[in-house]
Amino acid sequence: MTTANDLFIIALDLKHPVGQGDLSLALAGAELIDLIGAGSVAVDGDRIVPGGPPPPGDRFLDEAAAGLTRQAPYERIEDWLWRRGRDLSAAYQAALEENGELKPQRSSRLSFGSESLEPVDTPNRRRAVERWEENEPVLTALVAVLSIEDERSDDEPADDETGLDDEAVTTVVASVHDAVMELEAVRQRRTIENAAFANLWRGP
């Protein structure tokens, strides 16, 4: 299982609802971080520079690596997050359901349409929970970006104390944060525009 799979599972378990768009961006960031860790890509400033092959055994990382821009000046991290992240949470949902990692559950925190889901108690879920409970820096940082850092005690690390010691990983997490904030700004603007339009029809 990858960081993206673990992130999806942890998002299901937390109290705050997680938007599909936010999660898709974070999943794309998690994939990129795993590719960095495998030496499949490097980060040069805000650009993704392809390197070696992706780690074997995960089709999502294969797809992510295959979609990299391989000619200079290469692709900006944030542009790649938006492109790769399109409908990515739905793709992970389908894969985890197919593998028997998810099941329907009314009380789930993460809903897709009319369907709510929860993780099945599998070795993969236990591994994801273990990473989360041990404050694993990458997973903790990505969860914090999603504003679902809601089950930590006061003596546990804050968002800026997650222990990230790799500059490339820190850059990716910051780019995910910026993209999620941009998506939220778009939502707020649409809400304001829709409210203004409704007021026009209501009249004085």
Report the percent of the chain where pLDDT is more than 90: 63
What are the residue ranges spanned by the domains of the chain?
3-202
Q: How confident is the model at residue 190 (pLDDT cuts 50, 70, 90)?
A: confident
Residue 55 main-chain phi, psi, to 5 deg = -65, 145
pLDDT of residue 151: 44
Q: What tokens were used for 3?
A: 């960081």
Report the phi/psi class of residue 203: left, alpha or beta, with left for phi > 0 and alpha for psi in -120 to 50.
Answer: left
Mean pLDDT, rounded, for 28-44: 96
Distance CA 121, CA 113 (A): 23
For the cut 80, the answer to whether the pLDDT of residue 40 exceeds it is yes
Here the tokens at position 30 are 């998690």
Identify the pLDDT of residue 13. 79
CB 59 within 8 A of CB 92: no
120-173 per-position pLDDT tens digit: 999 999 999 999 999 999 999 999 998 644 444 344 444 444 467 789 999 999
- What pTM, to 2 d.p., does this model score? 0.83
Cis peptide bond prior to 157, omega within 30° of 0: no
> What confidence score (pLDDT) does residue 156 get?
41
- With cut-offs at 50, 70 and 90, classify the pLDDT of residue 114: very low
